[in-house]
């Protein structure tokens, strides 16, 4: 296992707006936005020291969930590959890639290729999925998704490590005597495991280079991070792991409009203090989001965070 975030640094990234348009997190202006907005956000993240940009994963959105989730979910690997060509430094994360939707060798191939094309910037963020009807439409076993994820990670690990992997799992059998390339640029392409259930915490501890919580309340983060670290020590020893957190929604400064009661606002120091609490829990990377009314305002918020908040982040 390997950590990619230097000790002492509290890294920050974001799941790009527009690439998914769920009403859970969509701002009104995004309804008519297109890929040009995604490109602008990625370039700004690249310039503003963001550790990663992330793209989510749904193949289809069944009725009636489409009323809230909407149907625009850009293809994960296609979008990350395109972003690789228009950025230079920012990492490219799938948040999260549903492993049961593809054969693990296909997933390995996609992310190895992404890593080579991006000069070693890919992070495979994995998940088990949650829309049962989506699984059914794809002809997949929803109840087996956890076991599939575990076996898939084992196969992907083997493919990342060896051009001619030799790995056997109960579901996929023995996979051998076949090569897979291009090889990833990174010596160890990181796999971050998403989810907040007990099974997901165990999966992150046993198989992950990092953890991506999904909806863990702030108050439960200390117990969750402790659970991952303890289980990891018991199963694979004192291997480092990059623990993540999803933070509040922020507005840097004092807004002149109603940003809603759930938005954390104020000075750079106040926001940094709020985020450094995660660092004290052992978290090394944060996913942040900003309230905004237009693309330009969002770009300004990203720059303000970089210039004013980021210098105060630590762990």
pLDDT in single tens digits along all 315 residues of the chain = 678 998 888 999 999 999 999 999 999 999 999 999 999 999 999 999 999 999 999 999 999 999 999 999 999 999 999 999 999 999 999 999 999 999 999 999 999 999 999 999 999 999 999 999 999 999 999 999 999 999 999 999 999 999 999 999 999 999 999 999 999 999 999 999 999 999 999 999 999 999 999 989 999 999 999 999 999 999 999 999 999 999 999 999 999 999 999 999 999 999 999 999 999 999 999 999 999 999 999 999 999 999 999 999 998
Q: Is 262 a domain residue? A: yes
Output phi, psi for 314, to 5 deg.
Answer: -160, 165
* Distance between CA atoms of residues 180 and 161, nearest Å: 10
> What per-residue confidence (pLDDT) applies to 130?
96
Tokens of 59: 């193949």
Q: Return the H-helix or E-strand segment holding 77.
A: helix 76-86
* Nearest CA among 33, 50, 35, 29 for reference residue 81: 35
Task: Note whether residue 155 is domain-resident.
Answer: yes
State the pTM of this model.
Answer: 0.97
- Identify the pLDDT of residue 196: 95
Please state, in angstroms and rounded to a whole number, the distance separating the CA atoms of residues 4 and 2: 6
Secondary element (H or E) of residue 276: helix 268-280
Q: What pairs with residue 183 in β-bridges?
A: none
Residue 3 lies in a domain: no
Q: Which residues contact 25 (CB under 8 A, 6 or more apart)?
A: 17, 289
Going by C-alpha positions, the residue among 247, 248, 260 that lies closest to residue 293 is 260
CB 123 within 8 A of CB 80: no
Task: Answer whether residue 269 is part of any domain.
Answer: yes
Q: At which residue do the structure tokens 């293809």 appear?
A: 75
Could you give the angle at which helices 145-161 and 198-207 cross, rounded to 10 degrees?
10
Instruction: Report how far residue 56's alpha carbon sits from residue 69's, in angstroms, rounded to the nearest whole number.
Output: 12
Structural tokens at position 297: 């305002």
Partners of residue 244 on adjacent β-strands: 285
Q: What is the DSSP string of 113-139?
A: HHHHHTTS-EEEEEE----HHHHHHTT
Q: What is the pLDDT of residue 173?
A: 98
* pLDDT of 315: 86
Tell me, what's the pLDDT at 1?
A: 67
User: Which domain covers residue 283, as residue numbers?
Assistant: 11-312
Residues with Cβ within 8 Å of 257's Cβ and at least 6 positions away in sequence, in order, are 293
Contact indicator for 310, 276 with CB cutoff of 8 Å:
no
Cβ 130 vs Cβ 90: under 8 Å: no
Cα–Cα distance between 90 and 43 in angstroms, integer? Answer: 9
Instruction: Look at residue 93 and tell me if it is in a domain.
Output: yes
**Is the peptide bond prior to 96 cis by the omega test (within 30 degrees of 0)?**
yes
In a domain, 6, yes or no: no
Please count the structural domains in the chain.
1
pLDDT score, position 6: 85
Q: Which of 214, 242, 213 is nearest to 229 (CA)?
A: 242
Asked whether residue 100 is domain-assigned, the answer is yes
Distances (CA, A) of 289 to 13, 23, 50, 140, 251: 9, 15, 12, 33, 9
CATH classification at residue 68: 3.20.20.30
pLDDT (0 to 100) of residue 270: 98
In a domain, 88, yes or no: yes
């Amino acid at each position: 296992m390997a950590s990619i975030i230097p000790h002492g640094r509290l890294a920050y990234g974001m799941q790009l707006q527009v690439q998914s348009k769920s009403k859970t997190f969509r701002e009104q202006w995004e309804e008519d936005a297109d890929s040009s907005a995604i490109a602008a956000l990625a370039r700004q993240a690249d310039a503003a020291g963001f550790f990663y940009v992330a793209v989510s994963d749904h193949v289809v959105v069944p009725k009636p969930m489409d009323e809230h989730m909407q149907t625009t979910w850009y293809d994960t690997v296609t979008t990350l590959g395109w972003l690789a060509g228009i950025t230079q430094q920012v990492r490219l994360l799938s948040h999260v890639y549903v492993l049961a939707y593809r054969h693990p060798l296909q997933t390995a191939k996609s992310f190895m290729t992404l890593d080579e094309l991006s000069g070693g910037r890919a992070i495979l963020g994995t998940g088990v999925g949650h829309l049962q009807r989506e699984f059914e439409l794809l002809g997949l076993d929803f109840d087996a998704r956890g076991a599939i994820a575990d076996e898939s990670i084992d196969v992907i690990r083997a493919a990342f490590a060896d051009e001619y992997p030799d790995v056997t799992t109960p579901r996929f059998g023995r996979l051998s005597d076949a090569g897979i390339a291009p090889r990833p640029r990174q010596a160890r392409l990181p796999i971050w495991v998403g989810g907040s259930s007990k099974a997901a915490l165990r999966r992150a501890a046993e198989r992950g280079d990092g953890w991506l919580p999904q909806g863990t309340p702030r108050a439960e983060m200390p117990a969750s991070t402790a659970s991952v670290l303890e289980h990891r020590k018991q199963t694979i020893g004192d291997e480092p792991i990059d623990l993540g957190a999803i933070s509040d929604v922020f507005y840097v400064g004092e807004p002149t409009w109603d940003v809603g009661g759930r938005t954390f606002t104020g000075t750079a120091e106040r926001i940094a203090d709020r985020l450094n609490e995660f660092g004290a829990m052992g978290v090394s990377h944060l996913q942040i989001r900003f309230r905004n009314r237009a693309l330009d305002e969002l770009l300004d918020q990203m720059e303000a965070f970089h210039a004013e908040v980021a210098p105060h982040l630590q762990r």
